[in-house]
């Protein structure tokens, strides 16, 4: 087995050569994993090919969810959010119709898998804010309304010491279903014009110490016509705390949370 020479010892794979330590010695050998061409053409890798294609579809579905509300996700997400969402989308694809490797990627196939998904895995909305929004839609799902009939200090479970106000946030992701057609090797959106779109709206800063009634957030989809039946609307809801200094408001990093509350 060839040994590595020189002062710098490598670990990993570089230019088709695998470097690794064995019993105190650093060894190198030619990497022997299957090529992409073999995976896609050798019948022995049929299952691997199917899983790879569906994971690629899950990545596209996850990206479509995030793209329309990218700035919002950046404010609330943890480092694992993207990979966790892709994993959830992969599970949703498993419920789709079709043969393995080409099953339909449609959020509507398993909405329960996405409802409750947290931008930050360590923060659950119910542990921070307990008032439940009533969600309605009209004009063929073009206008989504979140109503909170009553919100008081008792609904705020973990108020940061320096917080004077809180702010409610709602976001909407418009996501097309995806298909991998028989003559294609990759998933593509069924309705590209109704895909990877989104919007975010917030309430005004609200005092923590008083009761508020009939709070409302309205989300209007960027789609100018009726939303396609092949597209799903992912509704997100969250809260952040604010500190007022003079006439200025500053968002606090502590206990800001957002998660999926429904699919339409």
What parts of the chain have a pLDDT lower than 70?
A: 1-51, 182
Looking up tokens 């298909």 gives: 179
Strand partners, 230: none
- CB-CB contact of 156 with 237 (8 Å): no
> Residues near 79 by Cβ (< 8 Å), separated by ≥ 6?
none
pLDDT number for residue 8: 47
The pLDDT of residue 6 is 47
* Residue with the two structure tokens 């959830």: 88
Contact (CB, 8 A) for 39 and 54: no
47 three-state secondary structure: helix
Res 2: pLDDT: 44
Would you state the pLDDT for residue 95? 84
Position 3 scores a pLDDT of 44
What does the block give as tokens for 26?
């650093």
pLDDT in tens, 218-245: 999 998 888 999 999 999 999 999 999 9
Cα 109 from Cα 179, distance rounded (Å): 13
């Amino acid at each position: 087995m060839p040994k590595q020479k020189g002062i710098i010892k490598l670990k990993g794979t570089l230019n088709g050569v695998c470097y690794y330590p064995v019993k105190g010695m650093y060894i190198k050998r030619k990497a022997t994993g299957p090529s992409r061409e073999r995976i896609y053409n050798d019948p022995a890798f049929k299952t691997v090919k199917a899983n790879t294609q569906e994971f690629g579809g899950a990545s596209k579905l996850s990206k479509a969810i995030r793209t329309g509300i990218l700035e919002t996700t950046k404010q609330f997400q943890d480092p694992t959010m993207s990979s966790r969402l892709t994993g959830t989308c992969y599970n949703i694809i498993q419920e789709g119709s079709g043969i393995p490797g080409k099953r339909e990627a449609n959020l509507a196939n398993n909405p329960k898998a996405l409802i409750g998904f947290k931008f930050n895995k360590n923060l659950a909305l119910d542990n921070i804010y307990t008032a439940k929004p009533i969600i309605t839609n009209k004009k063929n799902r073009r206008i989504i309304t979140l109503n909170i009939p009553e919100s008081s200090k008792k609904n705020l479970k973990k108020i940061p010491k320096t917080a004077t106000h809180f702010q409610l946030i709602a976001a909407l992701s418009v996501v097309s279903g995806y298909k991998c057609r028989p003559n294609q090797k990759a998933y593509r959106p069924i309705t590209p014009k109704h895909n990877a779109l989104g919007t975010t709206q917030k309430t005004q800063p609200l005092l923590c110490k008083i009761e508020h009634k009939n709070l409302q957030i309205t989300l209007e989809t960027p789609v100018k016509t009726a939303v396609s039946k092949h597209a799903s609307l992912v509704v997100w809801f969250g809260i952040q705390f604010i500190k007022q200094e003079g006439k200025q408001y500053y968002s606090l990093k502590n206990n800001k949370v957002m998660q999926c509350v429904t699919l339409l």
